[in-house]
Amino acid sequence: MTRWWATASLLAITIPVLSQTVPGQPPINRLAPYVPSPQNVVEKMLEAARLKAGETVYDLGSGDGRVLITAAQRFGARAVGVEISPKEVKASRERIQQLKLDDRIQVIEGDLLTADFSGADVVTIYLLTTSNELLRPALEKKLKPGARVVSHDYQIRGWTPVAVEKIEAHRRVHQLYVYEIGKK
Ligand SMILES: C[S@@+](CC[C@H](N)C(=O)[O-])C[C@H]1O[C@@H](n2cnc3c(N)ncnc32)[C@H](O)[C@@H]1O
């Protein structure tokens, strides 16, 4: 009886934490933790995507906005971030405003799985393999032919990359999987 009660109590505590639910609020669909890409990896991702001036990049799960800021500053691109964490949304918007890049960068607070990113020339992601599996149908439905997708460290299962790049940062090798719509 005592052991049954202890197990039930533990489950009651851990299940809401794992599924990130708050009583009375919709569950947060967190597809990856906040782990920023190192700056040299960000630059390599955008180079690997062959991002050109005037193109639009979407970073799905945009964290502190570093992919968006690099795309605008270094590549002359427009950038849209989709981010579920209000804390990261606030921090990235503040940084974008400080840098006076708000005419070229937008951060949308919401779930990347339901976002409209059909205007993207390039999509960048740093999620997990299982999250990429959930996202894949939306990428296939929404992206135009010729759009490029670069995934940091995690493959999109079922797609064949047009290139796999490697870059070292923070004492480990990071893999970049580059895909092109219409070249699956
Ligand atoms: C590994 S971080 C990558 C941040 C940034 N893209 C980078 O490369 O530096 C993943 C980000 O995705 C966000 N995220 C997780 N699930 C999400 C969802 N369902 N919709 C939007 N953002 C999400 C997290 O809050 C986190 O900021």
From the CB of 38, is ligand 1 less than 6 Å away? no
**How, if at all, do strands 122-125 and 56-60 pair?**
parallel
Is 13 within a domain?
no
Residue 58 three-state SS: strand
One-letter amino acid of 104 = R
CATH code at position 108: 3.40.50.150
Is 86 within a domain?
yes
Q: How far apart are CA 124 and CA 43, in angstroms?
A: 11
Contact between 64 and 87 under an 8 Å Cβ cutoff? The reply is no
**Residue nearest ligand 1's atom 20 by CA:** 111
Q: How far apart are CA 175 and CA 118, in angstroms?
A: 25
Q: How far apart are CA 38 and CA 51, in angstroms?
A: 18
Q: Residue 100 Cα, ligand 1 centroid: separation in angstroms?
A: 23
From the CB of 57, is ligand 1 less than 6 Å away? no
Domain count, the chain: 1
Is 97 within a domain?
yes
Q: Note down the domain range covering 38.
A: 32-180
Residue 123 has what pLDDT?
Answer: 98
Is 62 within a domain?
yes
From the CB of 121, is ligand 1 less than 6 Å away? no
Q: Give the predicted TM-score (pTM) of the model.
A: 0.89
Is 74 within a domain?
yes
Residue 21 has what pLDDT?
Answer: 61
Is 6 within a domain?
no
The token pair at 45 is: 């991702």
Residue 23 has what pLDDT?
Answer: 72
Q: Residue 184 Cα, ligand 1 centroid: separation in angstroms?
A: 25
Question: Which of 62, 93, 113, 151 is the best mutation target for the ligand 1 pocket, counting ligand atoms within 8 Å of the beta carbon and taking the most?
Answer: 62
Residue 26 has what pLDDT?
Answer: 61
pLDDT in tens, the chain (184 residues): 344 444 344 334 333 333 456 676 666 799 999 999 999 999 999 999 999 999 999 999 999 999 999 999 999 999 999 999 999 999 999 999 999 999 999 999 999 999 999 999 999 999 999 999 999 999 999 999 999 999 999 999 999 999 999 999 999 999 999 999 995 5
Is 91 within a domain?
yes
Is 172 within a domain?
yes
